[in-house]
């Protein structure tokens, strides 16, 4: 399975290189924008198991900011447990975004593979999720990709307090672009290029899970959500390229409930 994931990732990068476009433009000095925000996330889901290995689930996530509704994720997923240390699956997400002037929608599909190992009451796991996101809004495809490929990697440590059905945990998730836009130009007789992929997300999390009667799971967590993006603005009349490096730090308080039907 790991070999298949590696092949998929390599294929994604190769495909992205074929789609990448190169532009010759005069380059204006880039600017940096750093913002902070607070957010409440409410999640709910149900999972149905079929035998010991196969499961299918449906989850909903709401993200609320200080000004109200930000976005929601509706996710349908399936997973297969090969053994107690490895599982893999696939998922589809419908994303609804409250934009500044209008509502936007996106579609996301991907694969997921998780390897884990236990050491006493500790459980360590690594999850890899190659995915693609499809934008449906009106965009300039010379500045932005219609389809974005990315890889999310999450490392987690859990501690099982069996007598109280509690699992405190720590995790960190890293997001990498796989087909970042490639644009080059000239500024003051010096060639300049924005190219190559980069880390666009970093999400350290601390949380506590509580299980009630094996079917009901509650999750309370705090997450620092770091997002980085390059925003390109091509001025066609002046043939100039403006680049804004956007960084967002979001402090997230979250609560989740999941029903596991066996």
Q: Are the CB atoms for 222 and 206 separated by under 8 Å?
A: yes
Confidence of residue 188 (pLDDT cuts 50, 70, 90): low
Is the pTM higher than 0.85? The answer reads no
Give the number of domains in the chain: 1
CATH code assigned at 187: 2.40.128
Helix (H) or strand (E) segment spanning residue 83:
strand 68-83
For residue range 75-117, list pLDDT tens digits in order. 999 999 999 999 999 999 999 999 878 899 999 999 999 999 9
Q: How far is CA 134 from CA 78, 99, 104, 196, in A?
A: 20, 16, 11, 20
The parent domain of residue 167 ranges over 2-261
Alpha-carbon span 148 to 110, nearest angstrom: 12
Interval 111-170: pLDDT, tens: 999 999 999 999 999 999 999 999 998 888 878 889 999 999 999 999 999 999 999 999
């Amino acid at each position: 399975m790991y070999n298949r994931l590696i092949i998929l990732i390599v294929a994604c990068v190769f495909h992205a290189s074929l789609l990448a476009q190169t532009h010759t433009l005069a380059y204006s000095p880039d600017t940096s924008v750093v913002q902070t925000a607070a957010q409440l996330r409410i999640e709910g889901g149900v999972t149905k198991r079929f035998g010991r290995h196969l499961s299918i689930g449906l989850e909903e996530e709401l993200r609320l900011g200080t000004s109200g509704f930000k976005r929601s994720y509706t996710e349908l997923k399936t997973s297969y447990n090969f053994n107690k240390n490895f599982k893999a699956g696939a998922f589809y997400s419908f994303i609804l975004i409250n934009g500044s002037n209008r509502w936007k929608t996106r579609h996301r599909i991907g694969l997921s593979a998780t390897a884990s190992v236990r050491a006493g009451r500790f459980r360590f796991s690594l999850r890899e999720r190659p995915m693609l996101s499809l934008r449906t809004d009106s965009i300039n495809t010379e500045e932005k990709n219609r389809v974005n490929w990315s890889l999310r990697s999450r490392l987690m440590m859990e501690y099982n307090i069996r007598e109280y059905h509690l699992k405190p945990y720590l995790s960190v998730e890293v997001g990498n672009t796989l087909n970042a836009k490639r644009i080059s130009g000239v500024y003051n007789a010096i060639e300049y290029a924005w190219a190559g992929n980069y880390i666009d997300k970093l999400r350290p999390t601390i949380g506590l899970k509580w299980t009630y009667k094996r079917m009901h799971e509650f999750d309370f967590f705090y997450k620092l959500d770091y997002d980085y993006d390059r925003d390109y603005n091509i001025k066609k009349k002046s043939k100039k390229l403006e680049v804004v490096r956007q960084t967002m730090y979001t402090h997230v308080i979250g609560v989740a409930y999941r029903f596991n039907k066996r």
